[in-house]
């Protein structure tokens, strides 16, 4: 090590092997493999560049996994985003509502039902499951909201998913303004 990287500080850590932690098993395999290499490949990459490459690789594996195993509604609705969701620079109350909507954890009856705070999760008006999709796209109480969204989206609402609505600043504001103006607890 000193010969190849005289300026590098090296920390040696002991990791418990053979206890069925896949990552440690993999590291063990790779370390053993490295000891039998004939040529040592000298890289010009800095340690930060290597970390970046490892990060890219992990991200690609994660995306593959995300697409291959859809286990919840959230995965269906939202694309995986590397930078994370940053919001639209809204005031706090608005941002809280948008976050609840994006996490599909609202105070609508079907979400309350999930945590035992509503007896059946149904919309009192329509008698069907009251979730955010019902609220935006179907509920007979939300006709004005849909009119506003259609107008703001140049009549593209029927083509827009929850992801598009909540990531468009304009549509998101229409949605939130409607919720706040009608004093809805969502």
The residues that touch Zn ion, with contacts defined as CB under 5 A, are: 123, 125-126, 139
In the bound state with Zn ion, the residue whose beta carbon lies nearer, of 70 and 126, is 126
Q: HSE of 141 in the Cβ direction (CA atoms, 13 Å)?
A: 14
Beta carbon of residue 45, minimum distance to Zn ion (angstroms, whole number): 57
Beta carbon of residue 132, minimum distance to Zn ion (angstroms, whole number): 12
Beta carbon of residue 138, minimum distance to Zn ion (angstroms, whole number): 7
Q: Long-range contacts of range 108-115, CB-CB < 8 Å, 24 or more positions apart?
A: 108/132, 108/134, 108/135, 108/186, 110/134
Q: Which DSSP string corresponds to 99-149? A: HHHHTT--SSHHHHHHTT-SSS-B-TTT-SB-SHHIIIII-GGGHHHHHHH
Q: Tokens 């509920």 identify what position?
A: 139
In the bound state with Zn ion, the residue whose beta carbon lies nearer, of 125 and 170, is 125
Beta carbon of residue 170, minimum distance to Zn ion (angstroms, whole number): 25
Beta carbon of residue 86, minimum distance to Zn ion (angstroms, whole number): 31
In the bound state with Zn ion, the residue whose beta carbon lies nearer, of 85 and 137, is 137
In the bound state with Zn ion, the residue whose beta carbon lies nearer, of 123 and 174, is 123
What tokens appear for 37 in the block? 């290499």
Q: How far apart are CA 47 and CA 2, in angstroms?
A: 16
In the bound state with Zn ion, the residue whose beta carbon lies nearer, of 139 and 152, is 139
């Amino acid at each position: 090590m000193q010969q190849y990287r005289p300026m590098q500080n090296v920390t040696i850590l002991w990791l418990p092997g053979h206890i069925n932690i896949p990552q440690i098993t993999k590291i063990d395999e790779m370390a053993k493999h490295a000891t039998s290499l004939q040529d040592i490949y000298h890289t010009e990459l800095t340690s930060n560049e290597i970390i970046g490459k490892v990060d890219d690789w992990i991200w690609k594996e994660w995306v593959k996994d995300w697409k291959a195993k859809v286990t919840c509604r959230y995965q269906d609705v939202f694309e995986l985003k590397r930078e994370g969701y940053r919001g639209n620079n809204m005031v706090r109350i608005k941002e809280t509502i948008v976050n609840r909507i994006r996490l599909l954890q609202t105070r609508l009856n079907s979400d309350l039902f999930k945590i035992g705070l509503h007896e059946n999760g149904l919309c009192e008006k329509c008698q069907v499951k009251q979730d955010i999709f019902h609220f935006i796209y179907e509920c007979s109480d939300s006709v004005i909201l849909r009119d506003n969204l259609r107008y703001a989206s140049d009549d593209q609402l029927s083509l827009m998913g929850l992801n598009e609505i909540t990531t468009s600043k304009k549509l998101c504001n229409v949605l939130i303004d409607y919720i706040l103006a009608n004093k809805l607890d969502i």
